[in-house]
Amino acid sequence: MLINIPQPDFDIGIIGGGPAGSSLAAYLAKAGISCVLFERETFPRPHVGESLVPAANRVLQELGLLEQMEAAKFPRKYGSAWTSVTSKKIYSHDFEGLPLDCRGDIRFDEREMQGDRNYTYHVDRAKFDHLLLQHARKLGATVYEGVRVNRVDFPKDDFPRIVISSEEQEVVKSVR
């Protein structure tokens, strides 16, 4: 069932509550922009962990999450290594012109980094994603979990509508 909504419910609609969606919602909420985030799953959800790159620290710092990252006790990652299964050699190189059978190591503190940390984190994605989503909610983003976005309608002469469903009930949210 579609309902005609005279005014939009939110300025921005975000589909997906993974790291990108949650970070965007947090940035927008911090800026005072009304946003809504729709996530199909209910967090925490099972997800394979991964290593963050040092550039993620700037985002975590801007969002006010570095202290929570420390409190979550994610393992610290001080560098990276790229290896080849065919070679046991260790190279110190800028990666230009390396042969395919090589290994390259980078310590993060060997490169210019923003902030006060010379490391980043290896995260349990279920825990990390949940932390980001809850942080966006805390900053003021409206978050719906366990809802599926069925479609986005762009009617002429009216606001876009995000059509979602949850447990066989369809609902319409309007965005600018």
1-49+126-176 adopts what CATH topology? FAD/NAD(P)-binding domain (3.50.50)
- At 78 the three-state DSSP class reads coil
Q: Cβ(162)–Cβ(176) under 8 Å?
A: no
Start-to-end Cα distance in the chain: 21
Single-letter amino acid, residue 129: D
Rounded to 5°, angle at Cα 34 from 70 and 62:
30
- Give CA separation, 158 vs 21, 98, 163, in Å: 25, 56, 15
Q: State the chain's mean pLDDT as an integer.
A: 81
CA distance 171 to 176: 17
Query: Do β-strands 142-145 and 35-39 pair in parallel, antiparallel, or remain unpaired?
Result: parallel
Supply the pLDDT for residue 47: 80
Supply the pLDDT for residue 46: 83
Task: State yes or no: pLDDT of 120 exceeds 90.
Answer: no
For 65, the token pair is: 């999450």
Closest CA to 65 of 19, 14, 126: 19
Query: Do β-strands 161-166 and 169-174 pair in parallel, antiparallel, or remain unpaired?
Result: antiparallel
Supply the pLDDT for residue 13: 93
Closest CA to 33 of 136, 158, 163, 146: 136
pTM of the shown model: 0.75
Q: Cβ(47)–Cβ(156) under 8 Å?
A: no
With bands split at pLDDT 50, 70 and 90, how would you rate the model's confidence at 156?
A: confident
CA distance 110 to 94: 11
Domain locations along the chain: 1-49+126-176, 53-123
Rounded to 5°, angle at Cα 151 from 130 and 23:
30
CA distance 139 to 64: 10
55-104 pLDDT per residue, tens: 888 899 999 999 999 999 999 988 766 555 555 555 455 556 656 665 55
